[in-house]
Structure 1
């Protein structure tokens, strides 16, 4: 329905004359970045995205990708222009149903000038159309889009969105997603969340796959896996979809090992929910690529993606535990600044130690003692990398993972199990679907424990050299009711 806006005579005169009540600055361009410590030009200033609607057609034989992405956003300031993070060849941009001009700056900045300035607080609709060969596009010095023998993988961290949809590309601006992909019949197109269309014929020889992520999601966590997969669908007792997919290029033995690990996803999530609080999303599963087609595993929201080579030696439950723990630590609660990446990786690594403890394969204390005293000798350069500020070039250095996990074990030894697990649950619940910082984690740990923990975190996160580590033979209780009690008390206090 078309709504007519009725203006008073004074309001009409103000619009005609360009007069507004109170002195206001003229609209200005939005910032080309959010000012991240490591990636200052990632993300953009001046607006907040609420939803991405991504519609694509992909031609595996040529790697040609055509698409239209509709972005629903709200300006946070009056804007004469704004930036999108995007590297593909753009054919048109419309803003609020009017053609907009656009120009490229650098390798991933698309500067958009709308026909009319955007007004702070007012919703806006941005429609971008594009057509390119993503594997031929270089940005930030490389190509994140992985072309495979039968399709492609759009999976990466911290950069991947640039190669398949325009975005405000920083974890501090989460949004919901609809992803719809037209591919040749017999080819799967798998993404995050729940399926809304599953191989639905649309053209002769072409099927559409559509996915919806209803919970807020960071841009780098949106993924696309196109190719020949064996795909399985199931659901939890509550009706939550469980979708797993395995590349047909896995050898039979590796494929069996992969299934032996990934098919335990729901079991592992339910165990983690007992430690960290309710699972934050409405779908779950995993995707395994062909061997060495990706080169890593990534915690893509609701459905982690694993390189098939990870299962070449057999099952790899620890890796599955790691990526699923990220659903709480990294996905639901995201970093406010990439400098704090240990909040993702240290927590997921420590979850592996807790799983080992639960499975009777070695307690977290035993693993901490081994990592601290054997795996990384005191004179190893490992101890010179600071997990709380590793530097952009060492974002995924082993110290971020292992010393980050040791930091958490040192905290556990300092405050005891009851407070430690209460901190983890409160962290996941208090910052659910948002972003947070190391300083906030330290403050929460001090609030729940009642201890001054500044020295502990400074030593483990920000001081070169190997700290001393006291380890005790702790085991995780099977029924963590007391953790839930403390967490509930913390949440109740924050509501008042």
Structure 2
């Protein structure tokens, strides 16, 4: 997980959404993993420049649904200049007179089905494209955008989601990062597959999602072109780039999948701790598969980012990226457990809107408690007791609602810690047998799709046969410090579990 400048973006969207939204959002398509708008009249209309997310209403766009992104780039580490072409394969979900893309860099040209299209900037991050010919519902669209710019100097409210480093760059962020490197329909409701190809000078590595369909290819001018392919649908914020000096380690997981780990050569004495943690990825994914269901993607791995880069970690699909701070005190497998749990909770099953963030962060945090149990370093009950006692009743922590934290608190510590506590109370309420049937049932039912808290509660009630309104209302949607069930209430100060220091160290960087 990760947090960015969500407070600033929330303020920006409040002031711009009223002038940007010109289309009418349609109904949801029944196809898993997709949300398609449906035309409400025969007359062509602009696609809406936003999908109406309650926290970020101008994220994403209406009027079309993306199936695939082909991102072909050239990057110059010395100047941070990025140039290239993205080809978007999509389907119109209404008759369109124009549509929007989420993007920030300077655009040179746009073509739609081979025809030159007019385009203009709108709002904070919108590229409005006027169709050169009429677009009808169900029509296949091939949108080709050519562009260039310096992402680290392309700012929104003084901020860039692109991190320049001493040897390259990282495109890693949440809830938005695609804006700085490829045009997209930037909301988890519109998942797609993608190919990423990047030309860099010789001696520079490029890591992205998925698998390498071929080894890097030599190009003229002492350059090398790296290619990566993601074969399973993913949300745009989960696509990433890591460009710089990396040692790449490959292996095979117990399930036969490729494992690709990359370590920045700038980590110095933190490098061994990073390797001791990330090299456990295949082991951790194998263990998590036994609890959450089959691993949903085509590859595994992780990236240890440069020493001068990120202050967080992110569950980028198939290959989480970890900032250097996680290795400051030595190895920490708990952050690896957290980010790989997101491959199920957040990546395969994504939020239908950002107010449902508990479905991502609460579950990944509880996975750490389950790992602690499995490793004999503290039971989930012991971690619940200690976490609960760690926050006094008058702490502002208890005023943040994990089930609806607000746009400025999407990654607040309460979403993680109180979110994990909520899951433990659910487990105690329904019993272990039902609880450990609910988790894989959820990931199977919504695989490659989206979900809401209400849908999760309905599934949990269906499997357990228990009315769960009291648990969900109390632990997710009611301010104040809840009182645990009498059967689990402690009367003395709980002892600190052995795993606590590593979990706390990880959460100090994960939550903001």
Normalised by the length of structure 1, the TM-score is 0.89
For the residues of structure 2 that align with 1:370 and 1:221, how far apart are their CA atoms? Answer: 33
Q: Which runs of 5+ in 1 are unaligned?
A: 1-22, 474-496
Aligned position for 2:381: 365
Residue 169 (structure 2) pairs with residue 152 (structure 1): yes
RCO higher in 1 or 2 (8 Å CA, sep ≥ 6)? 2
Residue 199 (structure 2) pairs with residue 182 (structure 1): yes
Aligned position for 1:417: 432
Deviations 1:316-348 (A, max 9, x none): 100000000000000000000101101100000
Shift of 1:142: 1.2
For the residues of structure 2 that align with 1:186 and 1:169, how far apart are their CA atoms? Answer: 32
For the residues of structure 2 that align with 1:33 and 1:197, how far apart are their CA atoms? Answer: 37
Aligned position for 1:438: 453
Counterpart pick for 2:125 among 108, 119, 132: 108
Shift of 1:117: 1.9
Aligned position for 2:149: 132
Aligned position for 1:356: 372
Aligned position for 2:279: 263
SS at match of 2:455: helix
For the residues of structure 2 that align with 1:82 and 1:204, how far apart are their CA atoms? Answer: 38
SS at match of 1:117: strand
Aligned position for 1:166: 183
SS at match of 1:266: helix
Residue 116 (structure 2) pairs with residue 99 (structure 1): yes
For the residues of structure 2 that align with 1:317 and 1:345, how far apart are their CA atoms? Answer: 17
**Does the 8 A contact of 2:165 with 2:308 survive in 1?**
no
**Does the 8 A contact of 2:339 with 2:364 survive in 1?**
yes
Aligned position for 1:322: 338
For the residues of structure 2 that align with 1:140 and 1:71, how far apart are their CA atoms? Answer: 28
Aligned position for 1:34: 51
Aligned position for 1:388: 403
For the residues of structure 2 that align with 1:447 and 1:140, how far apart are their CA atoms? Answer: 46
SS at match of 1:116: strand
Residue 490 (structure 2) pairs with residue 469 (structure 1): no
Shift of 1:416: 0.3
For the residues of structure 2 that align with 1:210 and 1:168, how far apart are their CA atoms? Answer: 22
For the residues of structure 1 that align with 2:324 and 2:152, how far apart are their CA atoms? Answer: 21
**Does the 8 A contact of 2:254 with 2:282 survive in 1?**
no
**Does the 8 A contact of 2:205 with 2:243 survive in 1?**
yes
Shift of 1:464: 0.5
Shift of 1:140: 5.3
Shift of 1:200: 1.7
Residue 190 (structure 2) pairs with residue 203 (structure 1): no
* Bigger Cα displacement from structure 2, 23-32 vs 175-184: 23-32
Superposition RMSD on alpha carbons, in Å? 1.3
SS at match of 2:326: helix
For the residues of structure 1 that align with 2:338 and 2:169, how far apart are their CA atoms? Answer: 24
Structural mapping, 1:241-252, within 5 Å: 241-252=258-269
Aligned position for 2:355: 339
Structure with greater Cα Rg = 1
**Does the 8 A contact of 2:254 with 2:286 survive in 1?**
no
SS at match of 1:329: coil
Normalised by the length of structure 2, the TM-score is 0.86
Shift of 1:24: 5.1
For the residues of structure 2 that align with 1:235 and 1:67, how far apart are their CA atoms? Answer: 33
Shift of 1:238: 4.7
Shift of 1:198: 3.0
SS at match of 1:300: coil
Residue 313 (structure 2) pairs with residue 313 (structure 1): no
SS at match of 2:135: coil
For the residues of structure 1 that align with 2:134 and 2:262, how far apart are their CA atoms? Answer: 45
For the residues of structure 2 that align with 1:67 and 1:410, how far apart are their CA atoms? Answer: 50
Shift of 1:122: 1.4
**Does the 8 A contact of 2:202 with 2:223 survive in 1?**
yes
Counterpart pick for 2:97 among 77, 80, 105: 80
Runs of 4+ in 1 over 2 A off after TM superposition: 236-239, 470-473
SS at match of 1:196: coil
**Does the 8 A contact of 2:166 with 2:308 survive in 1?**
no
Counterpart pick for 2:84 among 59, 67, 72: 67
Say if 1:237 and 1:318 are closer, same or farther in 2 by CA, change over 3 A.
closer
For the residues of structure 2 that align with 1:136 and 1:201, how far apart are their CA atoms? Answer: 29
Shift of 1:472: 5.3
Shift of 1:239: 3.7
